[in-house]
Amino acid sequence: MADGITRQSVLFPGLFEKPVVAMFDQQAGSSDGGALLLKAVDEGLRLTAALSESLGDERQAGKVRHGLEELVRQRVFGLACGYADGNDAARLSEDPMQKLLVGRDPVSGEALASQPTLSRFENAVEPRALCRLGRVLAERVIERHRRRRKGRARRITIDLDVTDDPTHGAQQLSFFNGHYDSRCYLPMVGFLTFDDEPEQYLFTALLRPGNAPTKKGALGILRRVLPLLRGAFPEAVLRVRLDGGYACPELFDFLDDEGLEYVVAIHRNTVLKRRAEKLMRKARARSRMSGCTEHVYGDTGYAARSWSRKRRVIIKAEVVRHPGRLPKDNARFVVTNAPQTARWIYERIYCGRGEIENRLKELHHGLEMDRTSCSRFWANQFRVLLTAAAYVLMQELRLQAIGTSCARAQVSTLRERLIKLGAHVVVSVRRIVVHLPASYPFLDVWKRLALRLDPQPV
């Protein structure tokens, strides 16, 4: 070969009429050619720039080879491209597309930060900086949608949900959780839904100890996000939608005092089951006649001993039938101050929480949010926030794909269709050319997205 180096090759002598040799000798090549879209999305949101500005840099300037903005971009873009492990840095240090994304010359530019450098970076971030980082993430998301909707929305729904993050080492604040039957963290993730749009947009991600109660951290998140939403959407009705783990006197008092609309599940107890019995009898009778699952809705005024006032409780009296099984009573209860009918509130409002599970699956399986393998808790919180930032970029990419075959694609599908493109990068005096396959099956979608993305910061 011209450079005098023997390249690794693979021979397939019997697959085709002629022997096929696979040679790994392409210079300045990358498998992430489509990541140019991510760079355009980030420039439009000004996300990584804002995140890096919120971090303080106490390093000695003369010894710095990788600026904070480069490090943040390297991790966020790497996560979005499917490289969740810090050890991936060793394999990507000379990748031309990854270097281009962080602002370096893709061919002659200095190598990207190594795994030890990224590890020191993640472990150097302190709690106050993480608080600023979380606030900036929420600000950028809300500002993006304020501009998109021109500050107009009838209703904004705030969803908070908890998921498990299994741990397998000596991570700080990792505890055994009986519900998940494992040692874990319990991150809380927040989403915003504007009117009746199908997408729930992530705005926060808070890592919590494995033994934390569900409600821990919820009030803090709400106190921080409400002023941002009210400033951006002054005429919108703000609705909070939560499951039963959040129900507590402090939360209900806060929601009432803030004038929020809320739909919050509550665990059944003796009093509520007694209130639901009349409806349960109707549901059982209907189920016996139809032989199918039946449910009846109603409501009642209820105040637990620890509550400061009586509140409306929606009752869903349900009898569940499965073939070969005995019928099962399934009474559910939701506390609300919404004025609609009980059936409407439960089916059209509360059951909408189920869509959040799809967002959590994307975070786990599409971006590996649970790759919290640092021993230090705050370093793991930083990783979760960086993963959240990568997810914000992917959600914006999906938003821009409206009207295409990728409009409702999962994160992993978006990556496979739009990001994972073989590319050959050529740098000249005047420009950088990224050569992509002419036979690319989603070429029309990619071009449409490239034209839609505004390169100017918002």
Q: What is the pLDDT of residues 294-310, one digit of tens each?
A: 999 999 999 999 999 99
Tell me the pairing of strands 261-266 and 237-242: parallel
Tokens of 298: 């109603």
pLDDT tens, residue by residue, 407-431: 999 999 999 999 999 999 999 989 9
Q: What is the mean pLDDT of residues 226-251?
A: 96
Q: What is the mean pLDDT of residues 63-69?
A: 84
Tokens of 61: 């300037």
- Least confident window among 52-66, 140-154, 313-327: 52-66
Tell me the pLDDT band of 107, cut-offs 50, 70 and 90: very high
Give the side-chain half-sphere CA count within 13 A for 347.
11
Measure the CA–CA gap between 308 and 299, rounded to whole angstroms: 19
Tell me the pLDDT band of 4, cut-offs 50, 70 and 90: very low
Tell me the pairing of strands 332-336 and 237-242: unpaired
Tell me the pLDDT band of 1, cut-offs 50, 70 and 90: very low
Q: What is the 3-state secondary structure (H, E, C) of 68-133?
A: HHHHHHHHHHHHHCCCCCHHHHHHHCCCHHHHHHHCCCCCCCCCCCCHHHHHHHHHHCCHHHHHHH
Residue 3 has pLDDT above 70, yes or no: no
Q: What is the mean pLDDT of residues 195-220?
A: 96
Contact between 427 and 105 under an 8 Å Cβ cutoff? The reply is yes
Return the pLDDT at 221: 97
Measure the CA–CA gap between 346 and 314, rounded to whole angstroms: 7
Residue 292, classed as helix, strand or coil, is: coil
Q: Which residue has the tokens 């908070």?
A: 160
Return the pLDDT at 8: 67
DSSP string, 411-450: HHHHIIIII---EEEEE-SS-EEEE--TT-TTHHHHHHHH
- The overall average pLDDT reported for the chain is 92
- Residue whose C-alpha is closest to residue 28's, from 113, 106, 100, 110: 106
Tell me the pairing of strands 188-194 and 155-162: antiparallel
Return the pLDDT at 451: 93
Return the pLDDT at 17: 84
Tell me the pLDDT band of 14, cut-offs 50, 70 and 90: confident
How large is the C-alpha radius of gyration of the chain?
A: 26
**How much of the chain, in percent, has pLDDT values that exceed 90?**
85
Q: What is the mean pLDDT of residues 236-240?
A: 98
Measure the CA–CA gap between 350 and 334, rounded to whole angstroms: 8
Measure the CA–CA gap between 239 and 248, rounded to whole angstroms: 17
Residue 120 has pLDDT above 50, yes or no: yes
Q: Strand 432-435: give its sheet, edge to edge.
A: 29-30, 423-427, 432-435
Would you tell me the crossing angle of helices 377-400 and 36-45 to the nearest 10 degrees? Answer: 100
**Position with higher pLDDT, 255 vs 9:** 255
pLDDT tens, residue by residue, 326-354: 999 999 999 999 999 999 999 999 999 99
Return the pLDDT at 457: 46
- Residue whose C-alpha is closest to residue 191's, from 181, 201, 182: 201
pLDDT tens, residue by residue, 156-166: 999 999 999 99
Q: What is the mean pLDDT of residues 360-389?
A: 95
- Which residues make beta-bridge pairs with 263? 241, 336
Counting other chains too, the contacts that 352-355 makes at CB distance below 8 Å and 24 or more residues apart are: 352/157, 352/193, 352/241, 353/159, 353/161, 353/241, 353/243, 355/198, 355/200
Return the pLDDT at 458: 45
Q: What is the mean pLDDT of residues 53-70?
A: 82
**Position with higher pLDDT, 296 vs 87:** 296
Measure the CA–CA gap between 242 and 261, rounded to whole angstroms: 12
End-to-end CA distance of the chain: 49
Contact between 290 and 282 under an 8 Å Cβ cutoff? The reply is no
